[in-house]
Amino acid sequence: MIEWVAVDRWEDLLPGRFGILEPTQGPSVSLGPGDVALLPGIAFDRDGWRLGRGAGYFDRAFPPDQPAPCLVGVGYAFQLVDSVPHDSRDRQVDAIVSEEGWAWRTEVQ
């Protein structure tokens, strides 16, 4: 399960299990409408579907039937593909950002 933690300084982040900077301590926070969450992925499509690593952490953190922050996929332009497999447990991202700029989801539901 993902826990969101408020961080005030870069110095409060240390490399975690996958080498990604993570907070070591701090108050837990809830994310919702009005917030922005950056999501990594292996591939994205213009309909906002995201292919991750298969564990479903982000899909469980932002279930499709619950209000969520603005979800932004972060990747390289070559990761934007024609179609990404998805099912009813997956949550679409609102936009993808890469070194070539922003790609907004083609249909906001």
| Intervals of CATH 3.40.50.10420 along the chain | 31-104
The SS3 of residue 7 is coil
CATH of domain 31-104: 3.40.50.10420
Instruction: Give residue-wise pLDDT tens across range 27-80.
Output: 888 888 999 998 999 999 999 999 988 778 888 888 777 888 999 999 999 999
pLDDT band at 83 (very low <50, low <70, confident <90, very high): very high
Question: What is the C-alpha to C-alpha distance for residues 40 and 53, in angstroms, rounded to an integer?
Answer: 9
Q: Which string of DSSP letters, residue by residue, matches 43-109?
A: EEETT--EE-SSS-HHHHHS-TTS---EEEEE--GGGEES-----TT----SEEEETTEEEE-S---
Question: What is the C-alpha to C-alpha distance for residues 43 and 96, in angstroms, rounded to an integer?
Answer: 10
Percent of the chain with pLDDT over 70: 97
pLDDT band at 100 (very low <50, low <70, confident <90, very high): very high
